[in-house]
Structure 1
Amino acid sequence: MTFEADEPHAAALSPDALNAAALSPDALRADALRAGRLVMVDIPGPTLDGDTAASLRRHGIRSVCLFGKNVVDADQLRALCADLRAVMGEDALIALDHEGGAILRPTFWPFAPSAMALGAADDPDLTRRVNEALARQLRAVGINWNFAPVLDVNVNPANPVIGERAFGSQVALVTRHGGAALAGHDAAGVAACVKHFPGHGDTSLDSHHALPSVTRSREELDRTEFAPFRALLPGTPAVMTAHIVYPALDPHAPATLSRPVLTGLLRGEWGFEGVIVTDSMGMKAIDDHYGRGEAGVLALQAGADLVMALGRREAQEATLDAIARALADGRLDPAQGQASAARLSALARRYPAQADTTLDPGADAPLFARAWAQGLTAYRDPVAPTPGSRIRLVAQRRVTRENVSEASVDAATLAAELAGVYRVELTAFDDPADLDWAALQAEGVPVLLATTARHRQPALRGVRPDLHLALYNPYAALDVDAPAVLTFGFRPEARAALLAWLRGEARAPGRLPFGH
């Protein structure tokens, strides 16, 4: 499907003209077009239908974020991106959360390791090459903006949303690998976007569901959360904001809506001149407390360049209408809006949304396999059962996708893979609280517990299998009272590295990238 080239921008209105026009229909139409320039939306499915294309044109939208619902295969994705660019023009920004590990929407390319697997390997050149390969995947289909890398310093082991998405819990480690990731993206011609500014690593709440707060002092924030962001700003084309309150900077508003944070700190004190994009305004941290339209205006007033208005068309329209009215009645400075539009155009021109069909994402499979293997980490001196022996595998029957993360490996698949090494008897559970550990261990065969869920499970605290296979949340190794092997992810490449270790064919060379 193809679409006509985009319509030209409406001419900018001066402040005097805005005041004279007040809220006339003509003014609202002009400002609605410019409002669309400051808004990123998502689209319903894997093709660009006529109604959605008309909406993008009508509002002058130039930025779209893609999700799993938009992804079928490489040819389809390339066609979708071409159609989006035909509608949105050469300033099109087409984005995806393509971090590695659990945060990968396409399932038809080799899977890159999670950030924490790379932190455990602690080879910055490897991190650079992995991120260059990640970006090449996107460029092959015409996606020009990746919402990665994560620069959160994951100092809270109970963090429900970051975990293995971070490089680790140490500032130097995160900064070292964050810089390598930025360099890899730039080399491949895809815009990176560091997140979640000013830092999501010390939260115990998930901003998808609630409004977290980080109560550290400014001095503590400078030493920890802020440090990687500030150090890497010279090589950072874009920053994504966090829906988190930092009372040391602003006791009232989350960073996304805070002028002291976005304009005072990031623009003023640190001198950042790149793009500031909000995280999704549909997350409950914002939607439940401020409402979509008003929150979009507040984010732009705070200093954001682009408001991520995701979700139903009505929610997108509410944001667009609110921003258009705020531009028309003077609550938003037109000059600031033009500066934001210029930053967004510069980003799109530097990293154009044009597919490079000469790239072969499959060629990076050996690199990703090697990177997963280098991150494999032993904890408490684990010893693998003898290949060919009988074992009892205990694993969760099925783990569905949740928020940003994709579905994990199921118990039957894991048992089938382990059957290439052992004689496997499977105990699949739905709720770990239902497990009878005394009965499991009475058989006298080694019990291997595989943890495959995003969240740590309280029912597993203190249990004592013979070996723990930590295939997702690495902090589960702190709960289970057993030697462990940590993969920092459940993807096939991670499981292949684990199987090689179990067969005695490979070591676990990684180093735990967080305290214990």
Structure 2
Amino acid sequence: MTPADLLPGTLMMVDIPGPTLDEATAAFLRRWGIRSVCLFGKNVQNAGQLRGLCRDLRLVMGENALIAIDHEGGAITRPDFWPFAPSAMALGAADDPALTEAVNAALARQLRSVGINWNFAPVLDINVNPANPVIGERAYGDDAARVIRHGRAALLGHACEEVAACVKHFPGHGDTHLDSHLALPAVQKSRAELEGGEFAPFRELLGQAPAVMTAHIVYPALDPRHPATLSRAVLHGLLRDQWNYDGVIVTDSMGMQAIDANYGRGEAAVLALQAGADLVMALGRREVQEATLDAVDWALKGGQLDALATAHSVRRLEALARRAPALADEALDPAADAPVLREAWARALSTVGAATPPPLGSPVILVAHRTPLRENVSEAAADAETLARELGTLYDVTLVPFESPDELNWPALKAAGLPLILATTARHRHPALKGAQPDLHLALYNPYAVLDVDAPAVVTYGFRPEARAAVLAWLRGELLPSGRLPFRA
């Protein structure tokens, strides 16, 4: 088969509108020969519905179907009906690779139980920038050895359960101050610095990684003009030629502003394939998907894409689907993994300073964000009322909710003379809380918030119910925190 004969959908991954496969979407997938779909929260209701959707997708897309999802653990978990796995940084804090392997095997079993065969995890970014607005607790930590140790375990956990993993975000998103969902970041490091830092986990673990996702980031030391996703020097020159990687290269979403605001969507898709990507993530409105498919179809028919490279891409994608078939295993019971996931959250719990629980039954003031919102790929954190209700099982709680930290009058709160508990639940750090004066800080989401609040802290690396249960166990005196911050504080 020549590129001109290939349907462009073979090289495209799309998203679909809702929780069922409507006939118009099924016809769209058939018409373009699309074999790869990425699922999001809009596609998820319950296990039965999700299993039915995956079955219908496979019937339309064929035996080489790739059904993917971001199922990292922590805040990056779409289904809310399975036990929640901890974030990567929680596992980095527990620092037990056997536990990381067990947690990732549980994540994979959850997906396999419904027929999802590709997980966009683990994250191999080394989060060396505390102000990083998009990675944070999604990374295992701020040093290469820890990321390699736990990244290897995560890949093994997925492989044992026959769900394809995908390491990301190559060559590294851990030292950015911009979110590529919103802007085009650049990492101004020399090649030597990249070799000793960002590259290390990818170079070490690519032999175990069936797929790698690209970063929409410019690395001037590698290519001064193009972000990695569109750079032949990065994808073909570095990844294929120098490192001899022969797994699948998939782009991050081309709907992110790093690409969408700087390149035409169709043009960018063709550039990514020319650069060495096997699969372009063409997410968004149907008309945008159609425009991307049209551009790739034109490039295939016009000889703009190399025939041998295209054939290799098809081979890699089909091999990935054969290695991890999109078949639901209904005998799996994800609820059976709840104990190991609870244990992982508990073992991650870390303290900063002389964190001491207030006496049980005493009156306390809780200061918490009224209504945390969903942020890009992350789900929304626990709201103030939920936290107050849970702490209310142990204390006489007076809740002081806020929408913005600027609303808070810390001297007045301190003047009440009661133990003052601050809960932070946002992804971003809280520079506006630098003047905060709590007696105890519950860092329930971004662990880097401890850098902004000068107070003893308990760090969970996530806001899920299992994380909050670990905090309650500590407050009751039933849990001695054993985790250690996996970054320099």
Whether TM-score is above 0.5 comes out as yes
Deviation, structure 1 residue 494? 0.1
**Counterpart position of 2:378:** 405
**Counterpart position of 2:17:** 44
1:308 aligns with 2:281: yes
- Determine which of 119, 132, 137 is the counterpart of 2:110: 137
Whole-angstrom CA distance in 2 between matches of 1:145 and 1:376 = 29
Secondary structure at the aligned position of 1:314 is classed as: helix
Whole-angstrom CA distance in 2 between matches of 1:253 and 1:168 = 28
1:252 aligns with 2:225: yes
Secondary structure at the aligned position of 2:76 is classed as: coil
Whole-angstrom CA distance in 2 between matches of 1:287 and 1:74 = 33
- Determine which of 423, 431, 444 is the counterpart of 2:396: 423
**Counterpart position of 2:187:** 214
Give per-residue Cα distances to partners, 1:472-500, cap 9 Å, x unaligned: 01000010010000000000000000000
Secondary structure at the aligned position of 1:391 is classed as: strand
Q: TM-score, normalised by structure 1?
A: 0.94
**Counterpart position of 1:283:** 256
Whole-angstrom CA distance in 2 between matches of 1:149 and 1:220 = 23
1:349-388 to 2 correspondences below 5 Å:
349-388=322-361
Whole-angstrom CA distance in 2 between matches of 1:50 and 1:75 = 20
Give per-residue Cα distances to partners, 1:295-316, cap 9 Å, x unaligned: 0000000000000000001111
Whole-angstrom CA distance in 1 between matches of 2:2 and 2:381 = 51
Give per-residue Cα distances to partners, 1:298-350, cap 9 Å, x unaligned: 00000000000000011111111101111111111122111101100000001
Whole-angstrom CA distance in 2 between matches of 1:461 and 1:220 = 32
Secondary structure at the aligned position of 1:210 is classed as: coil
Give per-residue Cα distances to partners, 1:382-429, cap 9 Å, x unaligned: 111111111100000010111100010000000000011111110001
Paired residues, what number?
489
**Counterpart position of 1:167:** 140
**Counterpart position of 1:393:** 366
Q: TM-score, normalised by structure 2?
A: 0.99
Give per-residue Cα distances to partners, 1:34-64, cap 9 Å, x unaligned: x110000000000000000001000000000
Amino acid at match of 1:187: C
**Counterpart position of 2:2:** 13
Whole-angstrom CA distance in 2 between matches of 1:189 and 1:330 = 36
Secondary structure at the aligned position of 2:20 is classed as: coil
**Counterpart position of 2:151:** 178
Secondary structure at the aligned position of 1:267 is classed as: helix
**Counterpart position of 2:100:** 127
Whole-angstrom CA distance in 2 between matches of 1:498 and 1:413 = 14
Amino acid at match of 1:475: Y
Residue 346 of structure 2 contacts residue 467 of structure 2 at CA under 8 Å; is this kept in 1? yes
- Determine which of 320, 327, 330 is the counterpart of 1:347: 320
**Counterpart position of 1:268:** 241
Deviation, structure 1 residue 457? 2.0
Deviation, structure 1 residue 110? 0.3
1:204 aligns with 2:193: no
Amino acid at match of 1:118: L
Deviation, structure 1 residue 90? 0.4
Whole-angstrom CA distance in 2 between matches of 1:392 and 1:68 = 35
Secondary structure at the aligned position of 1:99 is classed as: strand
Amino acid at match of 2:123: V
- Determine which of 86, 92, 98 is the counterpart of 1:113: 86
Amino acid at match of 1:426: L
1:103 aligns with 2:76: yes
Whole-angstrom CA distance in 2 between matches of 1:91 and 1:448 = 52
Amino acid at match of 1:219: A
1:513 aligns with 2:472: no
1:212-251 to 2 correspondences below 5 Å:
212-251=185-224
1:494 aligns with 2:467: yes
Whole-angstrom CA distance in 1 between matches of 2:87 and 2:31 = 39
Q: Return 5+ residue gaps in structure 1 as ranges.
A: 1-11, 19-29
Whole-angstrom CA distance in 2 between matches of 1:350 and 1:206 = 33
Whole-angstrom CA distance in 2 between matches of 1:253 and 1:326 = 19
More divergent stretch after superposition (119-128 vs 451-460): 451-460
- Determine which of 91, 94, 103 is the counterpart of 2:64: 91
Deviation, structure 1 residue 253? 0.1
Which 4+ residue blocks in structure 1 deviate beyond 6 angstroms? none
Whole-angstrom CA distance in 1 between matches of 2:309 and 2:36 = 18
More divergent stretch after superposition (200-209 vs 328-337): 328-337
Amino acid at match of 1:346: A
1:62 aligns with 2:35: yes
Whole-angstrom CA distance in 2 between matches of 1:381 and 1:457 = 21
Amino acid at match of 2:185: P
Indicate the percent of aligned positions where both proteins have the same amino acid.
Answer: 70
Deviation, structure 1 residue 515? 0.4
Whole-angstrom CA distance in 1 between matches of 2:455 and 2:32 = 57
Whole-angstrom CA distance in 2 between matches of 1:307 and 1:64 = 11
Secondary structure at the aligned position of 1:402 is classed as: coil
- Determine which of 62, 72, 81 is the counterpart of 2:45: 72
Whole-angstrom CA distance in 2 between matches of 1:453 and 1:293 = 35
Whole-angstrom CA distance in 1 between matches of 2:149 and 2:487 = 15
